[in-house]
Amino acid sequence: MMRAVRLLLAALGVAASLAVGLVVLAAGPSTPDRAALVPAGTIHLPAQAGPDAGLRLWSPCVDLANAERAKIGRAPLAIDLRMARAATAHSAEQAARLLMTHDGANGSDAGDRITSAGFTWSAWGENVARGQRDCAAVVTAWMNSSGHRANILSASYTHIGMGAVRGSNGSIYWTMDLAAAR
């Protein structure tokens, strides 16, 4: 099994730090039935120029969100690379603007951004935050806010993408995109 996972990740150009229990969907026009089970741990795409330069999936944040979902009997969210790209790009834009916002500079919302990244959705939600130092702090902040908590715990969502980028002011700008595939 581990050899098959490593071969799949190599074919996708993904280098992984492997441990147990994370679902990663292949980039591109994949569907949930082509999901690869990848053990938990932080997964990084290769350091290179291009759309995935610096992309990190923030699996510890996803693990914490999934732990909260498990407490109420919800299925875990699956990390989707397309959604991670959209979330990371939005965090980078927020960091560049030094502005925590759901709205992109071009007027886009999370639905627009995940669609542009290639994910076809039937429902979506987004959590943003600024200033928390790590996954534990940001997920705790979101769980202490009724709207953000509702997004994390919603039975409507099956997929997740996380982004976090530090701005020139030293603050980390976090984005959690959640969606259900159509």
pLDDT digits (tens, 9 = 90+) for 43-75: 333 334 455 555 677 889 999 999 999 999 999
pLDDT digits (tens, 9 = 90+) for 118-155: 999 999 999 999 999 999 999 999 999 999 999 999 99
pLDDT digits (tens, 9 = 90+) for 21-31: 222 232 333 33
Cβ(83)–Cβ(163) below 8 Å: no
Neighbours of 145 (CB within 10 A): 13
- What is the per-residue pLDDT for 11? 36
Neighbours of 62 (CB within 10 A): 24
- Residue tagged 């982004």 (tokens): 163
- Top pLDDT among 15 and 74 is at 74
Residue 165 tokens read as: 């980028």
Neighbours of 46 (CB within 10 A): 11
Give the span between the Cα atoms of 147 and 142, in whole angstroms.
Answer: 8
- What is the per-residue pLDDT for 59? 87
- Residue tagged 């996972």 (tokens): 5
The residue type found at 173 is Y
- What is the per-residue pLDDT for 51? 55
pLDDT digits (tens, 9 = 90+) for 88-101: 999 999 999 999 99
- What is the per-residue pLDDT for 66? 97
Strands 159-166 and 172-181: antiparallel
Q: Crossing angle for the helix pair 135-143 and 59-71, nearest 10 degrees?
A: 40
Q: How far apart are the first and last CA of the chain?
A: 29
- What is the per-residue pLDDT for 57? 78
